[in-house]
Structure 1
Amino acid sequence: MSPLRLGGVLFFPVTPFGPDGGVAVDVLAEHVRAGMAHGPGGVFVACGTGEFPSLSTEEHRLAVRTAVAEVNGRVPVVAGAGGPLGAALRQAKQAAAAGADGVLLLPPYLSQGPVPGLRDYVRAVAEAAGIPVILYQRGGLALDPAAAVELARVPGVVGLKDGIGDIDRMARIVCAVRREIGPGFAFFNGLPTAELTAPAYRGIGVDLYSSAAFCFVPEVAAAFRGALDSGDDDLVRRLTDEFYAPLVELRSAVPGYAVSLVKAGVRLGGLDAGPVRPPLAEPAPEHLQELSRLIKAGRALVGAR
């Protein structure tokens, strides 16, 4: 099994929908192509920002196949999978068949079992995929260090993405897994606007993070990552204060805005990605106005450099 070599900004594209309500394959290809021009270190397709829970099995396959073709081996492509075991197995198998380099395994929904049951779920998906698997803890799935170590021992599991944001818990997980598994296991900051907490996660040894903002302001997201890597604390602070922090406040205004605002941002940038699917809802007019203002502010900060 080839290792996943990820770095830099991780791009989580939206899934565009056309006038007929189906996946707009050509628009998705254009979206991925535009993002690739800004040098992401990995493309995570049909995941949370890509409205994974609303995709049919066939739509999931189309999205993964489109991203793989557009990326063409330049960086790893990771596909979402999860939910009911049967669906997760199908998604993992078809992601591998479509040429994906890895799977991001979202938690099973509603049904919560003990760690041995979760381990068996993860093992089944990893065996079905045959490609590296990254676990995603969020919502009702919050691992303790012992559980994280047990899941990290499952063959094929190579990383853990954190969408909870409990730094103390995550620090203990990082220490435990690196002690028991070794330094090669990958950790990700997977909060909805991860740039806001990227410096804090770096403090516990977690450098990788997903960037939803990369979908609609890739130049801002790339500049932030560059400033973080180079130690340009002034630009990190200004982008945090004037773009990312207000964006988080806006995102927090309505449930689901972590996805619908991103898709709206893509549309504001000139790409017709279509609407979000229920139960998500489109942003209110005043929130779209604020999003437009923030996009201009972020670009101005980067352009001023």
Structure 2
Amino acid sequence: MELNTAAPAPAQAREQVPAQARAQEVAQRLRDGMARGVLSFPLTSFSGDGALDLDAYRAYLAAQLDTGPGALFPACGTGEFSALDEDEYRQVVTASVEAADAAADEATGGRLPVVAGIGYGWAQAVRFARIAEEAGADAALVLPHYLLKAPQDGLVEQVRRVAAGTGLPLIVYQRDQVAFTADSLRRIAEIPTVIGLKDGHSDLDRLRRLTLAAPDHLLFFNGAATAEIQARAYAAVGVPAYSSAVHAFAPEIANTFFTAFRNGDHATTDRLLRDFYVPLVELRDRVPGYAVSLVKAAARLRGRAVGPVRAPLTDPGPADLAVLEQVLDTGLALVGAVR
């Protein structure tokens, strides 16, 4: 069956499309996007007093979309989903859909897929999914549930209940307290609207077992923190697609790495890894939460009005900011040398 990859119809019309057909269509658009560009996980802009700054967010989104990402994942981990209330979440997802609509390019298959983060327990995840669907999102990324460790049957039931409460296609994110066995993955892959799994554990033996057990239609994503570090290893077990936090503040670095990685240019990827990504990871590992805080600080260094992080995260101090600026300057210089 040939799938339609043109820009999707407005939300009201999309509601008339059967859920399984819609899931197949979105999965194909994501597959096309992953082959074409980096997946963008935008930061959420706050003002100096911590309020949502929607105008700044729209400007930031426009700059992100100008760099040609393969898909847009608003209000996820990098976007501080857990710090947003429902009204703010609605505004962020709506602005993201509007920005994607405005940037739609028929030459590359229409509008980018917009995949909104949802999470907490299944009941709250459904509430957020319904908001995202009303806002026009194409799919949802199911973030790990809150606090509790759970048996495999419970993890599967969590996904089933989310799927029963929304028509959105779902990508399930395993990290922290969520880790599926091969049998559990087969069970959630039978849910018609589950289209993918994002992995943040970086247990490549376990991940290989999952990719072998999964049906061919299921999408896999490398969701490791600073995923470029492990991109080659993930690709070796059948998972070449990855999310890039670096794209949130330095898309030229992320895109240069993506192009070199896609073309098998190991000299360029290794140089970027050695001189930029590894120093960035070493700085990130100094303080819990820096996986987001440093990204936001780096975006501010680039002149983006993204504002501070919200508690419980904290912004880096002067000493770490100085190191971050040096690492960023090195990365940008490397990109200039490659070009």
Q: Give the TM bin, normalised by the shorter chain.
A: over 0.9
Moved more, 188-197 or 65-74: 65-74
CA contact (8 A) 2:123 2:162 kept: no
CA contact (8 A) 1:15 1:63 kept: yes
Q: 1:30 aligns with which of 50, 54, 59?
A: 59
- For these two proteins, the number of residue pairs brought into alignment is 301
| C-alpha distance in structure 2 between counterparts of 1:47 and 1:163, whole Å | 13
| C-alpha distance in structure 2 between counterparts of 1:257 and 1:30, whole Å | 24
CA contact (8 A) 1:95 1:129 kept: no
Q: State the AA in 1 paired with 2:94.
A: R
Provide the secondary structure at the position in 2 that maps to 1:45: coil
| Unaligned residue ranges in structure 1 (runs of 5+) | none
**Is 1:118 aligned with 2:118?**
no
**Is 1:227 aligned with 2:265?**
no
Q: Report the counterpart of residue 230 of structure 2 in structure 1.
A: 197
| C-alpha distance in structure 2 between counterparts of 1:78 and 1:3, whole Å | 10
Q: State the AA in 2 paired with 1:176.
A: A
Q: 2:95 aligns with which of 53, 57, 66?
A: 66
| C-alpha distance in structure 1 between counterparts of 2:155 and 2:266, whole Å | 41
CA contact (8 A) 1:193 1:244 kept: yes
Q: Report the counterpart of residue 92 of structure 1 in structure 2.
A: 129
Q: How does 1:115-154 map to 2 (within 5 A)?
A: 115-154=152-191
Q: Report the counterpart of residue 7 of structure 2 in structure 1.
A: none
Cα shift at 1:147: 1.5
Q: 1:238 aligns with which of 255, 264, 271?
A: 271
Provide the secondary structure at the position in 2 that maps to 1:187: strand
**How big is each residue's C-alpha offset from its partner over 1:204-230, in whole Å with a ceiling of 9 and x where there is no partner?**
110110000001100000010000111
| Unaligned residue ranges in structure 2 (runs of 5+) | 1-21, 105-110
Q: State the AA in 2 paired with 1:153.
A: E
**How big is each residue's C-alpha offset from its partner over 1:54-86, in whole Å with a ceiling of 9 and x where there is no partner?**
111111111100111011152101000010222
Cα shift at 1:125: 1.5
* Identical amino acids, percent of aligned pairs: 47
| C-alpha distance in structure 1 between counterparts of 2:136 and 2:166, whole Å | 11
| C-alpha distance in structure 2 between counterparts of 1:129 and 1:11, whole Å | 24
Provide the secondary structure at the position in 2 that maps to 1:280: coil
CA contact (8 A) 1:189 1:201 kept: yes
| C-alpha distance in structure 2 between counterparts of 1:229 and 1:120, whole Å | 37
Q: 1:281 aligns with which of 297, 305, 314?
A: 314
Q: Report the counterpart of residue 19 of structure 2 in structure 1.
A: none
Q: Report the counterpart of residue 79 of structure 1 in structure 2.
A: 116
Q: State the AA in 2 paired with 1:76.
A: P
| C-alpha distance in structure 2 between counterparts of 1:171 and 1:110, whole Å | 27
Q: Report the counterpart of residue 26 of structure 2 in structure 1.
A: 3
Q: TM-score, length-normalised on structure 1?
A: 0.96
Q: Report the counterpart of residue 3 of structure 2 in structure 1.
A: none
**Is 1:44 aligned with 2:67?**
no
Q: State the AA in 2 paired with 1:136.
A: Y
CA contact (8 A) 2:115 2:141 kept: yes
Please provide the CA RMSD for this pair. Answer: 1.2
Q: Report the counterpart of residue 17 of structure 2 in structure 1.
A: none
**How big is each residue's C-alpha offset from its partner over 1:161-185, in whole Å with a ceiling of 9 and x where there is no partner?**
00111111111111111xxx2x221
| C-alpha distance in structure 1 between counterparts of 2:210 and 2:152, whole Å | 15
| C-alpha distance in structure 1 between counterparts of 2:212 and 2:232, whole Å | 18
Provide the secondary structure at the position in 2 that maps to 1:103: strand
Cα shift at 1:20: 4.4
Q: How does 1:181-192 map to 2 (within 5 A)?
A: 181=215, 183-192=216-225
**Is 1:209 aligned with 2:238?**
no
Provide the secondary structure at the position in 1 that maps to 2:224: coil
Q: TM-score, length-normalised on structure 2?
A: 0.86
**Is 1:54 aligned with 2:83?**
yes
Cα shift at 1:149: 1.5
| C-alpha distance in structure 2 between counterparts of 1:300 and 1:129, whole Å | 46
| C-alpha distance in structure 1 between counterparts of 2:230 and 2:61, whole Å | 25
Provide the secondary structure at the position in 2 that maps to 1:208: coil
